[in-house]
């Protein structure tokens, strides 16, 4: 049977760049592994080569757990990497390549865990549904959204789900902090349009839409969004205070994020809404004032703050700017504290006595948003024990993306405990 590192390496070698040629070769590889283990994977496409794989494993309880991951990756320029981003090379104790962290490594851990259980004839304590999805790195229209709308029956009986991004270790003195995601910020990707009066570039402008748009974008980019502490982020800050033995000044959270270094990275993007201009398009000739100008903004809002976010954004844009959503998704939140959170935390502590699990809210978004539409509660839990010198967040969409082999092996042990062991007790 292939090791988790070998499966991760194999998956990376499939170029599933999004946008690109699609996920089908990687999906076929996953389906073959599952079928060879005696499972009956369902393979379907939302469009040519935009392929998803779903499989179900019977357990001792029909209350099913969904483990989902995505097979697509963001682009990578080989000229910027030490080794080719789709080589899947295993060296220096790490698996290198695009998707090693985001998130073919996690898919490999899921596969290695369930294949081992099947080989040993071990029945999980609850039904499992495995989903290996297309298109997470875009809107999910060809992946999770399609799956929940067109293949809803495959997820019958599922109450909870785990996926990226949580369960990774952050070194802190004599402890290792493991954030478990209990929510994520909502997504509001928007196209902005300014209309004006076309004219010659040498004449005084009547109503220049480029100027109107850039002034609006400047207001958006320079706006300091107020701090809004959601209950989960407040719980995280309290936990970090207890772990470090130092109180966190809630009136100086930006400075505290800097002071706490890697631990500060767990909340610095999660204490407020945000809106970042990311694309601009206007005009076709230097001496012509165009009649329209367009831009795109990546907006993110905390759970419960969607209306506040949109109202503030409209004030910043002003009356001359129209907006339309390219992608609008709610900010899902999972119960915390909860018995299932304790199960996740207990599986980490059982494998790492130095583990200190804490609640966490993701700054970005995942396929959990789609599954929340059909009532499935999502937690970010893709367990990894990481070297202190490895910048986990920097690996996402970054150059020389890699994941430690020992981290993947740790993750499979944690998942095995979660899926098969009796209830864990958290010893703190």
C-alpha pair distances (Å), 298 with each of 21, 74, 245, 313: 25, 17, 36, 12
CA distance 116 to 54: 18
Kindly report the length of the chain: 428
Q: Which own/partner pairs from 423-427 qualify as long-range (CB within 8 Å, at least 24 positions apart)?
A: 423/343, 423/346, 424/342, 424/343, 424/345, 424/346, 424/347, 424/349, 424/350, 425/346, 426/342, 426/345, 426/346, 426/349, 426/357, 427/349, 427/353
What are the phi and psi torsion angles at 234 (to 5°)?
Answer: -60, -40
Question: For residues 9 and 414, is the Cβ–Cβ distance under 8 A?
Answer: no
Active site positions, annotated: 72, 136
Tokens found for residue 177: 């902090």
Query: Judging by DSSP bridges, how do beta strands 186-195 and 170-172 pair with one another?
Result: unpaired
Query: E strand or H helix at 132, and its extent?
Result: strand 128-133
């Amino acid at each position: 049977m292939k090791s988790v590192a070998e499966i991760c390496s194999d998956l990376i070698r499939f170029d599933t760049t999004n946008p690109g040629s699609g996920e089908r070769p990687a999906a076929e590889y996953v389906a073959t592994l599952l079928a060879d283990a005696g499972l009956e994977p369902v393979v379907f496409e939302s469009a040519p080569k935009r392929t998803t794989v779903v499989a179900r494993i019977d357990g001792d309880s029909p209350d099913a757990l969904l483990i989902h991951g995505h097979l697509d990756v963001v682009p990578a320029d080989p000229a910027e990497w030490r080794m080719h981003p789709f080589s899947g090379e295993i060296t220096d104790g790490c698996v290198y390549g695009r998707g090693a962290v985001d998130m073919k490594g996690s898919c490999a851990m899921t596969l290695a865990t369930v294949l081992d259980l099947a080989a040993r004839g071990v029945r999980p304590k609850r039904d499992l549904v495995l989903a290996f999805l297309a298109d997470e790195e875009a809107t999910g229209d060809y992946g999770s959204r399609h799956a929940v709308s067109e293949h809803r029956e495959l997820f019958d009986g599922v109450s909870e789900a785990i996926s990226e991004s949580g369960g990774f270790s952050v070194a802190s003195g004599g402890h290792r902090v493991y954030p478990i995601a209990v929510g994520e910020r909502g997504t509001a990707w928007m196209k902005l349009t300014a209309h004006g009066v076309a004219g010659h570039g040498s004449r005084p402008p009547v109503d220049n839409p480029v100027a109107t748009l850039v002034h609006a974008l400047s207001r958006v980019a320079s706006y300091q969004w107020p701090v809004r502490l959601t209950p989960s982020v407040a719980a995280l800050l309290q936990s970090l205070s207890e772990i470090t033995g130092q109180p966190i000044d809630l009136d100086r959270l930006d400075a505290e994020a800097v002071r706490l270094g890697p631990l500060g990275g767990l909340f610095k993007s999660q204490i407020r809404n945000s809106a970042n201009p990311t694309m601009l398009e206007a005009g076709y000739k230097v001496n012509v004032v165009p009649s329209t100008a367009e831009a795109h903004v990546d907006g993110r809002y905390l759970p419960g703050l969607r209306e506040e976010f949109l109202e503030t954004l409209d004030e910043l844009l002003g009356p001359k700017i129209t907006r339309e959503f390219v992608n609008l998704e709610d900010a899902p939140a999972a119960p915390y504290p909860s018995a299932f959170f304790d199960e996740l935390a207990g599986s980490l502590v059982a494998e790492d006595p130095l583990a200190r699990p804490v609640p966490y809210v993701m700054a970005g978004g995942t396929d959990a948003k789609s599954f929340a539409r059909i009532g499935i509660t999502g937690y970010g839990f893709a367990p990894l024990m990481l070297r202190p010198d490895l910048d986990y967040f920097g690996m996402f969409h970054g150059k020389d993306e890699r994941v430690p082999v020992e981290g993947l092996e740790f993750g499979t042990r944690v998942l095995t405990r979660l899926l098969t062991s009796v209830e864990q007790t958290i010893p703190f």
